[in-house]
Structure 1
């Protein structure tokens, strides 16, 4: 079996060889076909070959059964390799650290404007306050707005007799 050759293609070649034997008047038994495929598979399938030889009777096992076991092992190995290459997630997407995510976010044009350094810019990037213009909080959480509202309320309470 050549490197990179699909298992189905190689099994087709062995089956074709059995058909040529039949056309010549000889027969190629399942036992001989099983021996041929087990002896010629690539190294990455060697574990599957060892398992088949250990747990199956190679003298009586069917060629199609051996082929099915080898294909199942190969597919499982390819899925595992893909998972290792793609990180821990199955969709092939790597998980990023916070610094990597922020650098990627800035590179895509989603970075923030640090023109308010010292005015809450070191706070978590939650947005810009529409009341005071400082980044790091929203208008509903603005301390300046709350102080001014409290001062306004005190001024209204201090005015005599509006009743």
Structure 2
């Protein structure tokens, strides 16, 4: 039995969740997200709660039960509060700036990196060494942050590169004489 799936998703004030056909849609102050459902699960919306239940007793239905509940919860939290990923840039001359719908990164290469900001995502740079990625869709926020980090990941010897604010880099000792 799913430990995650058996708990209903509580819908906060200001968010509306609707079920149209086999698609769950959540609308809130930060936008609108939708999730197509599989044939393995059923969704019931009543009393500001969304309950997910498996259609069968097979393994696939039980795994999709918890997954679907978790995805619906992420949608509800995303349209009400949103998701944020903060990143830190470390290194001499490494910096970031936002110009219109582009993030411009100087990460020690011979050229600057121009990253097109996707729809529904907001990127801000409070300082030239801090980048904050915000949005309603948890998956897209994480993907954008991972792509930015992928341009110059943190290296273990000097700690230079782009890293998440809460990430701990295990430092290595350099060569000895």
Q: Which TM-score tier does this pair reach, normalised by the shorter chain?
A: under 0.3
Q: Give me the TM-score of the superposition, normalised by structure 1.
A: 0.25
Greater percentage in strand? 2
Q: Give me the TM-score of the superposition, normalised by structure 2.
A: 0.24
Greater percentage in helix? 1
- Structure having greater relative contact order (Cα 8 Å, sep ≥ 6): 2
Instruction: Give the structure with higher Rg (CA).
Output: 1
